Chain A
Amino acid sequence: AQTVTQSQPEMSVQEAETVTLSCTYDTSESDYYLFWYKQPPSRQMILVIRQEAYKQQNATENRFSVNFQKAAKSFSLKISDSQLGDAAMYFCASPLGGGADGLTFGKGTHLIIQP
Chain B
Amino acid sequence: NAGVMQNPRHLVRRRGQEARLRCSPMKGHSHVYWYRQLPEEGLKFMVYLQKENIIDESGMPKERFSAEFPKEGPSILRIQQVVRGDSAAYFCASSPRRRGTGDYEQYFGPGTRLTVT
Contacts and interface: CB of A to CB of B under 8 A. Distances in A.
A106 B95 CA distance: 21
A96 B45 contact: yes
A37 B42 CA distance: 11
Contacts of A108: 41-42
Contacts of A4: 42
Interface residues of A, number: 27
Most B-side CB within 10 Å, residue of A31, A37, A91, A105? A105
Given A31-B100, A100-B48, A50 B42 contact: no
Given A31-B100, A91-B42, A102 B108 contact: no
Interface in B36-69: 40-45, 48, 55-56, 58-59
Nearest to A46: B108
A50 B59 contact: no
Specify the main secondary structure of chain B where it touches its partner: strand
A30 to B, nearest CB: 11
Contacts, number: 71
A107 B104 contact: no
A45 B58 CA distance: 22
Contacts of B45: 96, 100, 102-104
Contact of A33 (B98, B105, B111): B105
A33 B107 CA distance: 14
B42 A43 contact: no
A54 to B, nearest CB: 11
Interface in B99-117: 99-100, 104-108, 110-111, 113
B89 interface: yes
Given A43-B110, A43-B111, A47-B105, A105 B89 contact: no
Interface of A: 4, 31-33, 35, 37, 42-47, 50, 91, 93, 95-96, 99-108
